Amino acid sequence: LKKVKLPLGPRSYEIRIGEKILAQALSLLDGKKRAFIVADNRLKEARADLLSALKSLGWEVEEIAVEAGEALKSIESMLPIYGELLKRRADRNSVLFALGGGSVGDAAGFVASTYMRGIAWVGIPTTLLAQVDSSVGGKTAVNYEIQNEIGKNLIGTTYQPSLVICDIHYLKTLSSREMVSGLGETIKYGIIYDPKFFAQLKKSWKNIVRRDSKSLISAIQKSVSWKSKIVAKDEHDRKGIREALNFGHTFGHALEASTRFELYQHGEAVIWGMRFALALSHVKGSLTKKKYRSVDDFLSMLEVPALPKSIEPQEIFDFMKKDKKMESGSVRFVLLSRLGRTFSDRFVSNDELHSAFRLMKGRS
């Protein structure tokens, strides 16, 4: 069992990482209270395990099963969760447990942050993407459809959990596709912060997809350590320190949005987004051809759905611009100057975007 601490003063918490660690990790929670489990309804075994583990520790447990996925992150889909909490008289001492991938964590975290002005919550992420990234940092999110387009994560709170339990046992039932999606966000930490970790992942990525325990635990611990370190410096994402974490996300989000969130898993879109950011870094002259290729060669090995044939690159670029308009800013790209070193650039011309796209496409 590994522990990573996220130091945030009174809101500090631990991320516990290991295999079959649930009972042990739960025993850390003090006081025996009422637990409300908001769980992905597909996870039958994981739900039963959590229920019995909490019960055997003396908790009174209630369950609220939800349909996971992007559609869960809407106010309409969250209302029944509040309804169930109210009907079953959850009070301010109740603890909400979020069992599932990033969609369940984002939604349940938001509910926890607003129910009775905030109740304690525990994250139990069950996808690799959620274990390496979304479960840490306390960003909760709601989507809002606006003019027939999904406005992603436009509503939300920063509300830290009391504990996060990353048990790799859950990952056994994930598809390889979900594993690669999570690997995308994992590799991101290597690229933006940690050349050594990048080299390690280059060697071990197949073992990770195969779910080798040692490789998985090490990769999750590294990613979570980086994320915790950054969040500790900029909890509310106001200082620009968290900006590097957006590497690959400007193009990635636009690719997801322009394909109506139907074609790519989040991490898959981020893999394309990182390949685009790397190409753009080369086009802008900040990354030599050799360095560009050495990073991109690794990403190009990962199996992700191809770029959509029916969509013009300009359409994707227009999505990036729209996205930023919502935040009343200009498009800022996180670019790379070398492995482990990023900077942000808001002076990117349309021609440069097209050149980067051509370069990326030529290598895929």
Ligand X SMILES: NC(=O)c1ccc[n+]([C@@H]2O[C@H](COP(=O)([O-])OP(=O)(O)OC[C@H]3O[C@@H](n4cnc5c(N)ncnc54)[C@H](O)[C@@H]3O)[C@@H](O)[C@H]2O)c1
139 sits near ligand X (criterion: CB under 6 A): yes
- 76 burial via Cβ count (<10 Å: 0-12, 13-18, 19+): exposed
137 sits near ligand X (criterion: CB under 6 A): yes
Sole window of 21-29, 99-107, 110-118, 192-200 interacting with ligand X (rule: CB under 6 A): 99-107
Nearer to ligand X, 137 or 313 (CB): 137
Whole-number Å distance between alpha carbons of 123 and 101? 10
Whole-number Å distance between alpha carbons of 344 and 281? 10
Nearer to ligand X, 94 or 127 (CB): 127
**CA nearest neighbour of 179 among 221, 215, 139, 155:** 215
161 sits near ligand X (criterion: CB under 6 A): no
Nearer to ligand X, 106 or 235 (CB): 106
173 sits near ligand X (criterion: CB under 6 A): yes
Among 77, 103, 218, 250, the residue binding ligand X under the rule CB under 6 A is: 103
Whole-number Å distance between alpha carbons of 43 and 318? 38
> At closest approach, how far in Å is the CB of 270 from ligand X?
9
167 sits near ligand X (criterion: CB under 6 A): no
- 111 burial via Cβ count (<10 Å: 0-12, 13-18, 19+): buried
Tell me, letter by letter, the H, E, C secondary structure of 204-243.
Answer: HHHHHHCCCHHHHHHHHHHHHHHHHHHHHHCCCCCCCHHH
Interface residues for ligand X in 12-51 (CB under 6 A)?
40, 42-43
Among 167, 178, 194, 268, the residue binding ligand X under the rule CB under 6 A is: 178
Binding mask 239-268 for ligand X (x = CB under 6 A): --------------------------xx--
Binding mask 296-335 for ligand X (x = CB under 6 A): ----------------------------------------
Determine how β-strand 163-167 pairs with β-strand 13-18: parallel
Pure H helices in the chain: 22-26, 44-56, 75-87, 102-114, 128-129, 176-193, 195-209, 213-233, 249-258, 266-283, 289-300, 313-326, 350-362
**Binding interface with ligand X (CB under 6 A):** 40, 42-43, 68-70, 73, 100-104, 106, 126-127, 129-130, 133-134, 137, 139, 141, 153, 170, 173-174, 178, 181, 265-266
